[in-house]
């Protein structure tokens, strides 16, 4: 079963994404910040990380860089409520530091699951996934 790691400082986003992913058959871990996400990745592993760009402290772009350094094979999907920050194109910037894809919030479950299906060779075929930690 594919395992996802959701890293987002917003507890509502983590909760909604966790439910969405578990219903689709993914095991799901979640973290409120980059350092906690990196610890969960080391302890449990993951097939894909979903990382918010704008988080306090260790922001999303720094987190993506660390994830890519520690686990080059990990698929990384970046999410953000803004596709631009001033003159910066966030999708391009996230891709430049190692993300495999970008979704602008809000997005539908089908859109998220479609992107994950393209990133992972064997996405879950059924619902009801269990998770070791949230």
pLDDT means per 10 residues, the chain with 134 residues, are 95 96 96 96 97 87 95 95 64 91 92 95 58 41
Predicted pLDDT at 123: 77
Where are the domains positioned within the chain?
3-114
Crossing angle of helices 11-23 and 109-119, rounded to 10°: 70
Token pair in block for residue 65: 């860089």
Predicted pLDDT at 125: 65
Predicted pLDDT at 14: 96
Predicted pLDDT at 57: 80
- The CATH code of domain 3-114 reads 3.40.50.2300
Predicted pLDDT at 127: 40
Predicted pLDDT at 59: 85
Predicted pLDDT at 58: 78
């Amino acid at each position: 079963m594919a395992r996802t790691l959701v890293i987002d400082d917003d507890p509502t986003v983590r909760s909604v994404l966790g439910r969405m992913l578990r219903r689709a058959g993914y095991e799901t871990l979640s973290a409120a910040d980059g350092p906690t996400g990196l610890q969960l990745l080391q302890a449990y592993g993951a097939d894909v990380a979903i990382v918010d760009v704008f988080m306090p402290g260790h922001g999303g772009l720094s987190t993506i860089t660390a994830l890519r350094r520690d686990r080059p094979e990990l698929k990384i999907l970046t999410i953000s409520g803004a596709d631009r920050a001033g003159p910066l194109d966030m999708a391009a910037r996230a891709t430049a530091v190692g993300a495999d894809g970008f979704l602008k919030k809000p997005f539908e479950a089908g859109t998220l699951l479609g992107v994950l299906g393209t990133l992972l060779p064997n996405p879950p075929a059924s619902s009801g996934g269990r998770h070791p930690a949230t």
